[in-house]
Structure 1
Amino acid sequence: MRAHATIRLGKLSLRWRPRTAITCAGLIAIGFALAIVLLGTGTLAFSSAEVVAALLGRSENPMAERVVWGLRLPRVVTAACVGAALGMAGAIFQSISRNALGSPDMIGFTTGAATGAIVQIILFGAEPLAVSLAAALSCMATAALVFLLALKGRVIGGYRLVLMGIGVGATLTGVNTMLLVASDLDRSISAQIWLAGSLTARSWSHAVPAALGLALIIPVALLYARRLALLEMGDDAASQLGIPVERTRLAMVMTAVGLTALATAATGPIAFIALAGPQLARRLCRSPDVPLLSGAAMGAVLLLAADLVSQRFPSGLNLPIGLTTGLLGGAYLLWRLARDAKV
């Protein structure tokens, strides 16, 4: 199989890698299969045939259509969009920082979103839309703070970005704990529930904004994909090739922050996906390019799979999705560190 192929349309040319395309197609197929299984999972279980019939509006069971379309499909769409957003955000952060640990949950952005949500819940109440907006704005504010702290002589180093992010994240973790301890019990419990990350009771009011936001941000990320790949060669090499290094880095950080804010606002903090999704996608594609689309597809598959594990956990215990991904992420990180000869 050739390393890459080129499609030419007049003056335009598109270079793509067959292995990456096949990997993305395979991941999308797995995602659809997981979605069908999830749509049939619950107190009222449906077979795959019943789910497909309900989706097509040909079901003989009106209850199946109401449950699938009204209750379960919004949850599945939200999970797929959030997973894709986190997977692509992780790919961007890891590329910019040139560090496999450069994901939004490792460098403080997700913790910053949690701070905004906790403040909103404790001081003003747990109205869902307000909490989501507070989380998104706080995520962006945290990213701006990390970006400014990492700035040194009008240049932002990837290593410095990760270190500053970890420091800000640790500080905000302490702030979050203090807020939870100081608040009254009811609001503290509400905040703790949000911090667990959840796909429970997701409706079209969550799914539609997540899908629209993703549709708007992905083209921006793809527009900078080639520049992002050249940045991995080093700032000096990229600059010699005509890449505006700092402008490109700023644009991609803003894009990744937007994806992170979108995901966190929809479900609360979700660990592991942004960390592992891009790395697994890169291993499957075996490509030097930044795994933007494949990372997004892998992120969606991972979150859908984690949701299935949560819903089918033994003893009927329906775990919050954030707890499930956190457990999986911890195990993955330990495995990654154990096999890395440099650690």
Structure 2
Amino acid sequence: MRTERNLTRLDRVFARLDREPERPAHLDVPEMSRHRIALFAGTLAFYIAIVWAVLITSWLVRLDWQVMFFRPYQQWPEIHAFVDYYVVLGQRGPTAVMVAAWLGWRSWRQHTLRPLLALGVSLLLLNVTVGAAKIGMGRLGPHYATTIGANEMWLGGDIFPSGHTANAVVTWGILAYLASTPRARRWLSALSAVTSLGVGMSTVYLGTHWLSDVLLGWAAGLLILLALPWFEPLITRSEAWILGRRDRWFARLGRTAATRRPVGPPAVLTPPASGRAEPPAREPVAAPRTRAPAYLAPGPHTARSDRTPVTPAGSRRPPHADRHPRGAAPAARPVSGG
């Protein structure tokens, strides 16, 4: 007879929320395969092509100006409130906090620091590469453009490439990069691509970025995700170093607690005249103290068999007016009648 209980969908969800007893062995680390190298090379070529097209003021710059003059926020004002909230998915602060909370829970559940370290490395690469490109090219945004039809390069701006788009690609794409199964990786990759492109188009709608800024930001974020396998050995060494420091710190704390336990005074050996050390003399153990019962009076007491019996004098019964003592004749009663 079968006695096992069939697990429901809710039971399986709660089972996945529990912490695993040890680090799972099936967690695969992406490698820099030929397919990934080809994607990296193609994305890098696309990045360079976008920069070159803007530098030479090609058709892409003319398209930027046409979209800017179209003013999408005036064409569809009914979605302006939604776009204002949706664009937050590309801001670095809120998105980094949300993704770090999720990856921190995964690190705790799977006994590994790799998710958090991969997120830290990707955000560091994002700040260095995108920040350097922004400052180096110095392009002005649509709201601050000075010459119609110009590329607005090297004028002190900081919008090329789009930081919102690149941050959305990296922050949400790291979830797909760290997925445990190929199916989850495909679904999360598609979701992060749609989300990042939506964030980029939201900035174009609001008029804060050129269309070419969004295309370059999407390529910049994708380059970081494709290059992460090259940094996996660094992540592995960092994890081992951090865990080693943690173990040594815990061992030091345990050793310190053991040395702080109270111990007795050290024994002093006094060598006798013969020169041979004798063991320290033991302290005499005091006899257990006995307390007299609280109902005994102080002073010497004798055993019950040694005591002399004492007979109480007189009667123990209380006096009564109608009763006569024993041995006395009762008084004569008066006789009534004739």
TM norm structure 2: 0.26
Where is the strand percentage greater, Structure 1 or Structure 2?
1
Instruction: Using CA pairs under 8 Å that are at least 6 residues apart, name the structure with larger relative contact order, 1 or 2.
Output: 1
